[in-house]
Each structure stands twice: as structure tokens, then as C-alpha cells.
Amino acid sequence: MRQCLSALVLCLAATCAQARQNWQTLSEHVDFIEQPAKLRFYDSNQTLIQGEQCALLVDAPGEFTQTEAFIGELKKQLRVPLCYVLASHAHDDHLLGLALVQKHFPDAQLIVHQSLGENFHLAHEQLNERLDGFVKSIALSLQRMEKLPDQEQEIWRDKIARAQVRFKQWQSLRFSTPDKVITQATELDLGKLNVELMPFAAHTQGDIAVLVRADKLLVGADMVDTLPYPGEANYQAWLQALEELSQLPVTQVLPGHGGVLATSDLTKPKVWLEAIVKHVQANPSADVVTLVETFPKQYQPQDDELEQRAYAMFLEAGIKRAKQTVTTKD
């Protein structure tokens, strides 16, 4: 009962934010903000790119207490106005925190892929579902608190009160309408620094990668994760995208989850995605459970328990997606 009582209320009370994000300066223009290792499959990384006149932020944490901590540091790190915020794709761990960023930086223009722009009502729905979840969690915690001993009730009453105060700051959050909808490769001038926005339909139906050519750096988000989530994959387009990205003149690749990568690391998601497709094609009559059980063990993480759990979930989702979308061989 106490674990159920604590989970979301503790986050609302701000204790979740104690896991500090790791700000890394990668070049004159680029800061990479990596989530703590224990949150790397739960929440997303961010990238801040600053020219001489404008800054561009790619993604925001999906967990709001993390986003508040991030915004506090962002205000310290900005040298120029934040002109643009960009959603690399529509998943909540990259997108929802941008509503809080927009509240603090109302003049920043929101950039999204065409696929997200055409379905932006779904972003509003995701945000409303998150806020409704907070309301229900607080109400449930209040009910469960009454069943605890009096001494413990006092402790939880304080935590729930802090959660309620925090929620009041969030309950009116709304997304502003996207200002720029990307349908093709687009350049942004940040002031003596051009960045290239590259749209794909790969990890999702609407991904955007960002190339900082001057710094030989690519922001690839979840498309380039070494262990990517393929539950919504367009496999053929994703593999083509990875091939295209691997040819770019870059030395640093920034994933949506995990640490900074080298260009050569783009082979890792490519090999894994290819293995999923090959396995499904080779066993057209097998069900998902059998395909998971017979998937080559060489791809399974050995030592990292968190990665093992993510791998199991991602593999099952990837195989289900492949069975739905990949043409099998006779």
C-alpha cells in the first residue's frame, strides 16, 4: 500500500527531481543534457544549440519535476533568447515537458514534424491525460492515507499537500499551436550558425533530426538510440534513414536516451532492427511469444538489469510491429 501511495505523489512533491541531469558542453554552440542512468529508458535527453542571436532547444523531459529542474538550469545557461523549441517526435517523454517550457518561454516558436502538426490534438490529449492522472493519484493517495496509522498520516499529509501545491502550478498547462511544421529539409539561422532540420518517418511517423554541420554534430533523438524502441517503426524507412545519417560529416551523435555516440555507433540500432525483420521474415507462421523466445541471444544485454528489462519490452514491441508491417518471405 505504501508503495502505491508514494509513486506519483512523491514525483508531484518534487522528490523525483533529485536525480540530476548531466549538462555537457560538446562544442562552442551545443550543450547536451543527459538524463541520469536510472531514468535513461524512462525520460529523454535534451540538446541546447546557441548561435549569436538565437537558441534552439530540442525536446524537454516528460516528467514535470525533471522539466522544472531543467528549466531552472536552462535559464542560467542561455546566452541568447530561446527562439525555438523543437519536438523530435510525438512521444510523451520528449513532448509533454515542452508545454512547461512554453509557459516559461512564451515567445519561443514551436517546431514539429508535419505528422505531429496534422495530429496536434493528440498532443493536447496526452497532456490532459497526464494532468488527469495527477488528479486521480492525489485523490487515491488521500483515500489510502486515511487507512494508515495516525503517525504515518501526518508524514503523508505533508507530502500530499506539497503535491497539491505543485499540481496547481501545472493544472492550467496548455500547448501553444506549432509555429513551424517541417515537411522537408529546412535551415534555421541562429545567428552566424545554421542548423539543418531533417524530417523522417522512421522511429515514428514524424521524426526530426538536427544537423549542426559547423560542429560536426547530429541530434538524432530516438532514431539513433543504441537500443531503440521499435513499437511504431517504419522499418524500411528507418534503416534507410540510419544509412543516410551514417554518411553525414559528423563526429558526435546525440541520442534520445543514453550517452553521446560516435558515428560508428549508428550500426548498432541498424543491426538490431535488421535482425528483428530477418527473424520475422524467416518464421512467418510463428506467433509473437515464439519469436521472442527464439530471437538470437547475441543481442541480449548481459550485465545491466535496467537494460535487460527495456530490451525484453522493446523486442516484443518490435516483433509485433514487424509482424504487422513487414512482408514475410515464403
Q: What is the pLDDT of residue 153?
A: 84
Pairing of strands 252-255, 217-221: parallel
Beta carbons within 10 angstroms of residue 135's beta carbon: 12
Determine if the pTM surpasses 0.75: yes
Per-residue pLDDT tens over the stretch 17-60: 457 899 999 999 999 999 999 999 999 999 999 999 999 999 99
Q: Which residues of the chain have pLDDT under 50?
A: 1-10, 13-17, 330
Strand (E) or helix (H) holding 5: helix 2-12
Q: What is the CA radius of gyration of the chain?
A: 21
Residue pair 202/238 in contact (Cβ under 8 Å)? The answer is yes
Q: What is the pLDDT of residue 12?
A: 52
Is 55 exposed, middle or buried, given 0-12, 13-18 or 19+ CB atoms closer than 10 A?
A: buried
Q: What is the pLDDT of residue 9?
A: 46
Q: How distant, in Å, are the alpha carbons of 192, 216, 232, 267, 307 from that of 264?
A: 29, 14, 24, 6, 21
Assigned C-alpha cell, 227: 537500443
Angle made by CA atoms 166, 94, 66, in degrees to the nearest 5: 35
Q: What is the pLDDT of residue 150?
A: 84
